[in-house]
């Protein structure tokens, strides 16, 4: 029994999720390979982190009270939302057409959520199926085929490398540095396979539209390699943002529409032009995913990564940066893999296409920088072990099972899709519908991201984990966005936020500390606004998500102001008082983040106004709000202690 519990603790450890969480980004990864240790020795940095942690509170009287509240509140939360998902509820007929037969306990299932960057509502002829989220619905329906691909792709690579290794062996013997030679040979083999498999993969996915994808990739490559160096960043960003808008507005450039622009759609006799008919015929070969432009947004990020990594590599001398730093190329730290540029010869068209179209990460990420991709293809990351990948796969399957249970027993998604009469719900029911809507958003993003990362792990590539914490385990707006879509956040920091200046705003020689701090915060807020405007537009070109981005920026203001008014160093002598103050502020943060995300991904502005009016328009609603805030305060205190427990282990996730 003890061994089973120990295994489950390992299963849900940060080490299983991503070794980046337990090792400093500056630490070479040889230590990570020691996968069998149950309690890895702390390095100096980890000891320094642990020394600042507070004593544990898990067994204090305060936390025993919290445990009792948890035992009462959490089951009530599930009970409340399950009750409104029963056939006996008055609103059931309004959304029953959005349900389809399920496979758990005779329950019907909501097959997908309504919260999608692009969506089309499709009503089935069966007793209701919510197919409004084309992305997750497609993923869920095709899980068996995706699992087959996850197995077949790495097996094909191993077969290819088995026959290709003997060809490369003779060339490696002529090189003086055996390690470098082996890395070069491995890079060449893996990139060749990625290149040819990617071409087949996108033709299967997009049919003749693969030509459009390759055309965009070609232009972006020429921007990096052909333009004068000083123009590369500006033209790269201009071109890719223009493509982002053009793909959306032109809906993927159908050949029929292009033909209609070149010739008259019909002649004087009313006959359609042969060119238009030919364009329509070509459009019929759209592959598995004819709407290629929907998921091309992730490819745009990789295009920018290649161009900017190449641009920054030109600042380095001709000699190898790795040799100059005297680093072990087989065990580079994660930061070195990202920051140290690839060899100049690596910035070629084959590597570019292999990276941008890398099959496991092509559709949804996680996002890997070009430098990191080349480094991992040259030398296998030591963080990848069979036991870690196995635990990650088990964790993924348990997450899918959790999503299935939620979709079978909690119809929050279908209810919000049906736009019901909110007055038929109590304030508690309304709040739980919104709360579980957010969790389904989280799960419907988490599951595809974890699947594609698992595919990459099995293939020998270790991309960043996108979701660090459960959506319920967040209280800070800043920290929330570090943990949500983490690889995109890291991409934003590297390619947008830092080039904008980040949060640095103090000029040299400025001795007015208070004014410089205010200027720094103002600069940080301005950059935050730019970043979230880009993030919202990248997700989708609609006003609702743009309002979401601006709401997020607006809602970080209280957190920034609170940190200025209540700096932590002034409360060191009263840590418990400061913890209570932070808990009160965190409750407000959580409420604002819930509102912003419900506006952006669920109900829209009108929907959230209706929900809030019903919740706050009565005395019972206000009483419920006060009770909910008290429960959130308890949850926040537990969140604080979880992070303190991580600090005691020498881990600081900063989220």
* Active-site amino acid positions: 539
Cα torsion 308, 312, 314, 316: sign: negative
Count of residues for the chain? Answer: 655
Which residue from 644, 544, 560 is spatially nearest to 603, judged by alpha carbons? 544
The conformation of residue 410, written as its DSSP 8-state character, comes to -
CA atoms within 13 A on the CB side of 340: 23
- Phi and psi at residue 108, to the nearest 5°: -80, 165
Instruction: Pull the structure tokens for residue 588.
Output: 């407000």
The conformation of residue 101, written as its DSSP 8-state character, comes to E
Q: Report which secondary-structure segment, H or E, holds 100.
A: strand 100-101
Rounded CA-CA distance 565/303 in Å is 42
Secondary structure in 3-state letters for 242-255: HHHHHHHHCCCCCH
Decide the pairing of beta strands 100-101 and 108-109.
antiparallel
Where b means 16+ CB within 10 Å and e means fewer, 336-345 reads bbbbbbbeee
Instruction: Pull the structure tokens for residue 56.
Output: 């544990």
* CA angle, 305 then 482 then 115, to 5°: 90
Beta bridge pairs of residue 439: none
Compute the CA torsion angle 260, 265, 271, 273 (nearest 10 deg): -30
The conformation of residue 496, written as its DSSP 8-state character, comes to I
Burial zone of 546 (CB within 10 Å; 0-12 exposed, 13-18 middle, 19+ buried):
middle
Neighbours of 286 (CB within 10 A): 17
Q: Report which secondary-structure segment, H or E, holds 353.
A: helix 349-356
Helices 143-172 and 178-206: crossing angle in degrees, nearest 10, is: 150
Instruction: Pull the structure tokens for residue 524.
Output: 């940080």
CA atoms within 13 A on the CB side of 644: 15
Rounded CA-CA distance 155/157 in Å is 5
Question: Contact at 8 Å (CB) between 521 and 567?
Answer: no
User: Which contacts of 224-228 are long-range, i.e. CB under 8 A and separated by 24 or more positions?
Assistant: 224/306, 224/307, 224/310, 224/311, 224/347, 225/310, 225/347
Compute the CA torsion angle 59, 65, 71, 72 (nearest 10 deg): 180
Instruction: Pull the structure tokens for residue 425.
Output: 């719900």
């Amino acid at each position: 029994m003890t061994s089973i519990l120990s295994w489950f603790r390992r299963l849900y450890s940060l080490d299983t999720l991503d070794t980046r969480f337990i090792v400093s980004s500056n630490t070479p990864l040889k230590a990570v390979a020691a996968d069998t240790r149950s309690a890895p020795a702390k390095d100096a940095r980890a000891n320094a982190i642990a020394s600042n942690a507070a004593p544990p509170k898990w067994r204090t009287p305060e936390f025993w009270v919290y445990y009792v509240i948890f035992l009462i509140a959490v089951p009530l939360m599930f009970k409340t939302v399950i009750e409104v998902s029963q056939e006996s509820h008055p609103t059931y007929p309004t959304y029953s057409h959005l349900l389809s037969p399920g496979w758990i306990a005779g329950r019907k299932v909501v097959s997908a959520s309504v919260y999608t960057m692009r969506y089309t509502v499709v009503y089935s002829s069966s007793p209701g199926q919510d197919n409004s989220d084309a992305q997750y619905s497609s993923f869920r329906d095709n899980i068996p085929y995706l699992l087959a691909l996850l197995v077949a792709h790495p097996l094909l690579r191993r077969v290819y490398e088995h026959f290709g290794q003997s060809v490369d062996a003779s060339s490696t013997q002529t090189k003086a540095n055996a390690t470098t030679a082996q890395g070069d040979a491995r890079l060449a083999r893996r990139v060749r396979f990625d290149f040819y498999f990617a071409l087949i993969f996108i033709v299967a996915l997009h049919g003749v539209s693969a030509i459009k994808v390759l055309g965009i990739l070609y232009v972006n490559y020429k921007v990096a390699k052909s333009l004068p160096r000083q123009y590369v960043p500006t033209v790269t960003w201009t071109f890719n943002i223009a493509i982002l808008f053009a793909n959306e507005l032109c809906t993927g450039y159908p050949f029929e529409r292009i033909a209609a622009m070149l010739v008259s759609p019909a002649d004087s006799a009313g006959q359609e032009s042969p060119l238009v008919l030919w364009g329509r015929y070509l459009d019929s070969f759209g592959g598995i995913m004819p709407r290629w432009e929907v998921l091309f947004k992730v490819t745009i990020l990789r295009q920018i990564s290649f161009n900017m990594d190449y641009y920054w590599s030109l600042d380095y001398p001709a000699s190898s940066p790795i040799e100059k730093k005297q680093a072990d190329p087989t065990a580079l730290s994660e930061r070195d893999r990202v920051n140290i540029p690839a060899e100049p010869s690596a910035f070629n068209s084959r590597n570019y296409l292999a990276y941008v179209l890398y099959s496991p990460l092509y559709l949804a990420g996680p996002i890997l920088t070009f430098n990191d991709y080349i480094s991992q293809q040259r030398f296998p990351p030591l963080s990848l072990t069979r036991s870690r990948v196995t635990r990650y796969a088990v964790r993924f399957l348990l997450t899918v099972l959790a999503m299935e249970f939620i979709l079978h027993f909690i119809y929050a998604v279908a209810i919000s899709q049906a736009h019901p009469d909110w007055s038929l719900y109590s304030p508690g029911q309304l709040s739980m519908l919104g709360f579980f809507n957010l969790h389904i958003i989280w799960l419907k993003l988490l599951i595809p991201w974890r699947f594609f990362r698992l595919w990459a792990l099995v293939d020998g590539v270790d991309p960043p984990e996108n979701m660090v914490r459960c959506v319920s385990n967040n209280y800070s707006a800043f920290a929330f966005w570090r943990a949500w879509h983490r690889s995109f956040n890291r991409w934003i920091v590297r390619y947008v936020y830092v080039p904008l200046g980040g949060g640095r705003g103090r000029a040299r020689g400025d001795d007015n500390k208070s004014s410089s701090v205010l200027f720094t915060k103002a600069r940080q807020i301005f950059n935050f606004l730019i970043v979230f405007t880009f993030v919202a537009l990248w997700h989708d070109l609609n006003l609702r998500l743009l309002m979401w981005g601006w709401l997020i920026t607006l809602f970080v203001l209280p957190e920034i102001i609170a940190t200025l008014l209540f700096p932590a160093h002034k409360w060191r002598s009263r840590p418990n008082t400061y913890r209570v103050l932070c808990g009160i502020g965190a409750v407000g943060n959580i409420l604002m983040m819930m509102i912003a995300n419900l506006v952006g991904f669920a109900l829209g502005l009108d929907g959230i106004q209706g929900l809030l009016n019903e919740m706050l328009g009565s005395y019972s609603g206000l009483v419920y709000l006060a009770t909910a805030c008290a429960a959130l305060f308890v949850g926040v205190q537990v969140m604080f202690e979880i992070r303190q427990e991580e600090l005691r282990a020498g881990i600081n996730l900063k989220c």
